[in-house]
Amino acid sequence: MVLLLACVCQFMVILDAAIVNVALPSVQHDLGFTATGLAWVVNGYSLTFAGFMLLGGRVADLFGHRRMLVAGLGVFSLASLAAGLAGSPGLLVAARAVQGVGAAMLAPATLAVLTTHFTEPAARSRAFAAWSAAGGVGGTAGALAGGALTTGLSWRWVFLINVPIGVVLIAAALVTLSATRAPGRPTLDLLGAVTGTGGLAALIYGVMHGSVLPILAGALLLGVFLLVEARFAKQPMVPLRLFRIRGVAVGDGMLFLFGGIAVAMWYFTSLLLQNELGCTALQAGLGQTPAAVTFVLVARLSSGLAARIAVPAGCACFVAGFSWLALADGGYLTAVLGPTLIVAAGIALTFPAMMAAATAAVPDGDAGTAGGLATTCNQVGSTVALAGMATVSAYDHVFLIAAGLGAAIAAVSLLLPGSQRAAAVASHHA
């Protein structure tokens, strides 16, 4: 029940990030968005989701994982209701921003619940494989569900559908999870929360829009944040001792690089299908469905894979699949289907292992913080990769960059301690 709860929460968060894309033209027509304003329906969610993740993880550790998960579900569901009922562009963007805050509360709490409930390495890795698969299915289902709901009902239902799901999940969390909190009288590191959250938000905003001043401001705030955490905070928002755990540092580094893999796989192949092969948005979602199915199947069937094979094999899939995408010239079957199946297999082999490495050997009292760190690194990596890859004019160059990132992840994975590599990589089978 705990695993099912965590997987459905992850499915809903990723679904909501993807489902809105198909509905954007209808949203623009009904509410009168400008082209620039319409982008904030997506960016408003992404900005607060990434910016508040560290804070959400630490609050979950201090005041209880169940309490934060339920609160995140409540904020997310109420914001979804407000988005579905919004009558103006400003109200919709504001609701999407609050949705992102809810997701930032929910995601690290979900990871913390998995980490603390599944303590045996093989069981934890299987749990992360299932959690990862739920996110992959949510991303693909978002395109299909967004098209179906927008066409059959209204764009408003891409948000309203979250409300009944959220109510069921809140009830399930209250029944399934036990209440926990940090011992003593925990206090929140307010200065760290302000500088860390503000720094991440400014950095991500600057990267999204290619603006130098927000990037510099974000870097400055993050520098102050590190100083506060190292010297002044009695109960730091992000205890820097976590980075002395090699798996945390290496796992977070791999997740940052993996952000570019995910962007190239799902975002740029979708653009390739629509812009180069003439597919509709719904057809593009259908075209990516075989890759999502492959992801789930490989995660399920990869049990027994030796430690020395798992991550290198997954990264070899990235290099081979993206190189094929870059060099292929033809229709869907020859130029897209085959290579995306290979890349999806690589994601199934590597992503659960990276998440397990980034949260293994972490004390239960820091599980939410470690989950927030891991998710933040992945989200920031995706944002940076999207901003950089969007400046590249040709799809083949984007896919070659992604192939290079696959090789880089393989190199970084060699820094994992041998015992943790065995626990976090070889045992990640579903």
- The string of pLDDT tens digits covering residues 293-343 is 898 888 777 654 544 577 888 999 999 999 999 998 888 988 999 999 999
168 burial via Cβ count (<10 Å: 0-12, 13-18, 19+): exposed
Please tell me whether residue 187 adopts helix, strand or coil conformation.
coil
Question: Are 257 and 396 within one domain?
Answer: yes
Provide the domain count of the chain: 3
Please tell me the predicted confidence (pLDDT) of residue 330. 83
* Residue ending a domain, choose from 142, 157, 185: 185
* Residue ending a domain, choose from 148, 164, 185: 185
CB 214 within 8 A of CB 202: yes
Question: Are 15 and 163 within one domain?
Answer: yes
Please tell me whether residue 301 adopts helix, strand or coil conformation.
helix
Question: Are 208 and 119 within one domain?
Answer: no
CB 128 within 8 A of CB 3: no
Question: Are 194 and 181 within one domain?
Answer: no
Question: Are 196 and 175 within one domain?
Answer: no
Q: Tell me, what CATH number does 343's domain have?
A: 1.20.1250.20
Question: Are 223 and 333 within one domain?
Answer: no
Question: Are 88 and 123 within one domain?
Answer: yes
Which of the two residues, 140 and 218, has the higher pLDDT score? Answer: 218
Alpha-carbon distance of 135 to 424, in angstroms, equals: 19
Alpha-carbon distance of 373 to 51, in angstroms, equals: 11
Q: What is the mean pLDDT of residues 163-182?
A: 86
Alpha helix (H) residue ranges in 328-394: 332, 338-359, 367-390
Alpha-carbon distance of 145 to 72, in angstroms, equals: 23
pLDDT tens, 134-149? 877 777 777 677 777 7
Q: What is the mean pLDDT of residues 229-243?
A: 85
Alpha-carbon distance of 103 to 271, in angstroms, equals: 26
Question: Are 169 and 61 within one domain?
Answer: yes
Question: Are 194 and 177 within one domain?
Answer: no
Question: Are 286 and 410 within one domain?
Answer: yes
Distance of CA 353 to the CA centre of its chain: 15
Alpha-carbon distance of 98 to 104, in angstroms, equals: 10
Distance of CA 311 to the CA centre of its chain: 19
Question: Are 33 and 102 within one domain?
Answer: yes
Question: Are 260 and 381 within one domain?
Answer: yes
Q: Considering the entire predicted model, what is its pTM?
A: 0.80
Distance of CA 63 to the CA centre of its chain: 23
Q: Which domain holds residue 68?
A: 1-185
* Residue ending a domain, choose from 144, 162, 185: 185
CB 108 within 8 A of CB 237: no
Please tell me the predicted confidence (pLDDT) of residue 183. 63
Tell me how many degrees the CA angle 118-121-125 measures, rounded to the nearest 5: 75
